[in-house]
Amino acid sequence: MGQCCSKGAGEAGATEAAPKAQAPSRGASANNADGQRASSSSAVAAAAAAAGGGGGGTTKPASPTGGARASSGSKPAAAVGTVLGRPMEDVRATYSMGKELGRGQFGVTHLCTHRTSGEKLACKTIAKRKLAAREDVDDVRREVQIMHHLSGQPNVVGLRGAYEDKQSVHLVMELCAGGELFDRIIARGQYTERGAAELLRAIVQIVHTCHSMGVMHRDIKPENFLLLSKDEDAPLKATDFGLSVFFKEGELLRDIVGSAYYIAPEVLKRKYGPEADIWSVGVMLYIFLAGVPPFWAENENGIFTAILRGQLDLSSEPWPHISPGAKDLVKKMLNINPKERLTAFQVLNHPWIKEDGDAPDTPLDNVVLDRLKQFRAMNQFKKAALRIIAGCLSEEEITGLKEMFKNIDKDNSGTITLDELKHGLAKHGPKLSDSEMEKLMEAADADGNGLIDYDEFVTATVHMNKLDREEHLYTAFQYFDKDNSGYITKEELEHALKEQGLYDADKIKDIISDADSDNDGRIDYSEFVAMMRKGTAGAEPMNIKKRRDIVL
């Protein structure tokens, strides 16, 4: 099967971390789950109804597994000519391309070196043929405009240049070799409220800068903040402005974008402003302090319901040991009423977050760090398991998909273009719902070549159709259970992940401990099923953001 990689071209373009594979889905981010724009679906409207909110009966976001823009219908793009509105230019005349840093649905990110100065940067290449709708082209243009607008800000990944040739758009940006924020927190081992306050202060300062310059990020989450280098004092950099927009004071936006755990309630209701970014940062603060998201459920619909209700748990462990100042700030940032929520400036002036402020320097309970490790590790493992399920399906199970592929592949080339896919779905896909058709048309082009081969097609289609069915889960379990003992041992998990190119020794212990509910050191089938189906911190749901970056 084809595979996607970890770093979102926005982030991935900015990081030198080794790529990690993921279940090919619409969702996932360069460093984690990759948000999407939403289109018509029942998830949020049902959640709004359940919460007594006004999500709107006909304008509902898509399932976070991947939707299109949540507006009155995306218009297909004409054959993409110029995207940036400037003369074509060969990026390779200025930069030599090096190793691949990551790849995903819309393209590939490479290390690149300036031919004259020798400076090492990251080049995010977006395949123009993947820009299927007019809005996709507009999004790329706006991303470039916003990155130029924010150029020179010390904590924003710098865009060094934007180039376009007949096939692609290339964004050359600062290389962030220090990795992700989560990884730095975990690597430090000991973690204090004061450390959390320092991190949050840097993040809120970035958000304050963006807002003061008329930019709303709209996809705030830990994965979109990278470290410039591996130095202990390396600056934090905001990345991935693919969903960012310019805004005016008092203007309300209505398209649903973001990543499921971090999306603000007013975004789900389609009436929001920059306050939504503060909510997302508040969710990050909650995770920094507790190791789990504040709003979660068994499925995405439940997550949205919990967000709309806005009921915070500040009493369970470890909250009794968290300072009153931290809890006060969490409550004020996660106020369900955006008009009463703190602004970025007000957050920066809160006593707990201020430098030499009230945040205590005593270590947080180890359970917080353990939870953060599990949050990180299990996200990757669950996505790997989904990918394995797609790859392990029997020939009988995918016969129909094979025939559909042949019907769509008109020239028998063994690959299909997005235009062929759209035409074929309209003609040969009566069993797919409208939302499923939209997801399939946005299926992951894992190798970033602008075409969808058979393996990619099967993976995307299977992923779209209930991978959590019992027989599929059992197939995946058998893949891991190499000796058919009925248990997945540490050694078997290591072997399976090595086969898939996903092995990370530091994550194995966390994966086992999170799934092993009876603490016998191995994972039985019921524990495996529970791990795959749960929607808690151990298994991040798909996002709602449509991006042209690298996916986990």
Can you read off the two tokens belonging to residue 102?
């990551």
Q: Which residues contact 383 (CB under 8 A, 6 or more apart)?
A: 21, 22, 23, 25, 28, 552
User: What count of residues does the chain have?
Assistant: 552
Q: Are 317 and 323 in contact (CB under 8 A)?
A: no
Point out which residues pair with 237 in neighbouring strands: 226
Point out which residues pair with 236 in neighbouring strands: 227
Helix segments in 262-417, DSSP class H? 265-268, 275-290, 300-309, 324-333, 344-348, 366-392, 399-408
Asked if omega into 318 is within 30° of 0 (cis), the reply is: yes
The binding site consists of: 128
Q: Are 161 and 86 in contact (CB under 8 A)?
A: no
Q: How, if at all, do strands 107-114 and 95-104 pair?
A: antiparallel
Q: Hey, which residues are catalytic here?
A: 219
- SS3 of 494, please? helix
Which position has the token pair 């540490």?
490
Q: How far is CA 303 from CA 265, 282, 515, in A?
A: 11, 16, 21
* 103, burial (CB in 10 Å: exposed 0-12, middle 13-18, buried 19+): buried
Question: What is the spatial distance between Cα 433 and Cα 468, in angstroms, rounded to a whole number?
Answer: 18
Q: Are 87 and 166 in contact (CB under 8 A)?
A: no
Q: Are 211 and 344 in contact (CB under 8 A)?
A: yes
The binding site for ATP consists of: 128
Is the CA virtual torsion 151, 152, 155, 161 positive or negative?
positive
Q: Are 4 and 447 in contact (CB under 8 A)?
A: no
422: closest CA among 442, 448, 402, 403?
Answer: 442
